[in-house]
Amino acid sequence: SSSSSSSSTATALVALRCAFRAELSVGETLVVVGSTPLLGEWKAEDGFKLSWTEGNVWKGNLPVEREEFEFKLVVEKTSGETYWEKGENRKINKTIEANTVEVKSTFGTNEDMEVSFMDGVASPTVQSNVVDFAREEEKKKEENVVAKAEMKKPTKSTKKKKAAAAAKKTTTGAYRTVEKVKYDNFALLKFDELMEKNSMISMEEFKAIYPEDVKMKAVEKRTVEFLLKGGGGKFSYALNEEAKGYAQLLL
């Protein structure tokens, strides 16, 4: 059954809590890329993006398999280019019995990595709280921009109209490029139709487009993340809470 399958998956996964210090340029993101499927199998585009916090510490809480694994930190530029930290691979060289593994270190410095194992409730469906990096001296300006955007946040009715108008102008190719990022256009066209008919996308509607057994590649993962954040550019989407939960399970 699906419930027993979910329980088995949860047992096989543990939470990896990351905290890595890295001074990056504006717009760059720190990504964890490693040897297991959930860490992208050494493919930078499928790695896990961390979130910038004060002090230039990049944090994230992500699921990993309960086994030995290796990983590296990768910097992703706004252009899509990447560069990897030098030195040997970082390693968790023991089978993980605890529910949570905490790692702390500095980008490019493997020797100082602190690894802690602890018990506790670990969620196998953690989504990265990805943020656009900004220098600390620009922080106040950034917060003002966000505050103004929230005040002008479109209503469900406005989102519906925007999605409908955008769908009419969208091409029927395999990919849709929004702000220089490629997404799964075939799926987005179906979501556009749903937004034109309704003001909210349900879990059942989401499952019909991305079923539970779908093999998620990098472009599909980006598309799901795009939908979760409400779209971008001229495309707007709204998911109900059940649809959001299901979408997070696919990542």
Confidence of residue 94 (pLDDT cuts 50, 70, 90): confident
Residues 6+ apart with CB under 8 A from 194: 201, 205
Q: Give the model's pLDDT for residue 57.
A: 95
Reported as a pLDDT band with limits 50, 70 and 90, residue 120 is low
pLDDT at 96: 76
Q: How far is CA 241 from the centre of its chain?
A: 17
What average pLDDT does this structure show over 179-183? 89
Distance, CA of 51 to CA of 155 (rounded, Å)? 28
pLDDT confidence of residue 11: 47
Instruction: Work out the pLDDT band at 165, boundaries 50, 70, 90.
Output: low
pLDDT at residue 175 greater than cutoff 70: yes
Question: Residue 172's pLDDT is what?
Answer: 59
**How much is the average pLDDT of 31-50?**
92
Q: What is the pLDDT of residue 159?
A: 58
Distances (CA, A) of 151 to 146, 148, 154: 9, 5, 9
Pairwise CA distance, residues 6 & 244, whole Å: 17
What average pLDDT does this structure show over 134-147?
A: 54
Answer with the residue of higher pLDDT: 240 or 134: 240
Average pLDDT, the chain: 79
Q: Is residue 139 pLDDT above 60, yes or no?
A: no
User: Per residue in 55-83, pLDDT tens?
Assistant: 999 999 888 888 889 999 999 998 889 99
pTM score, whole prediction = 0.46
Q: State the average pLDDT over residues 75-100.
A: 87
Q: Which residue has the higher pLDDT, 215 or 245?
A: 245
Question: What pairing do the DSSP bridges indicate for beta strands 100-106 and 13-21?
Answer: parallel
pLDDT over 70 percentage in the chain: 74
| 42 pLDDT above the threshold of 90 | yes
Residues with Cβ within 8 Å of 218's Cβ and at least 6 positions away in sequence, in order, are 43, 45, 46
Mean pLDDT value across residues 201-210: 92
Report whether pLDDT(216) > 70: yes
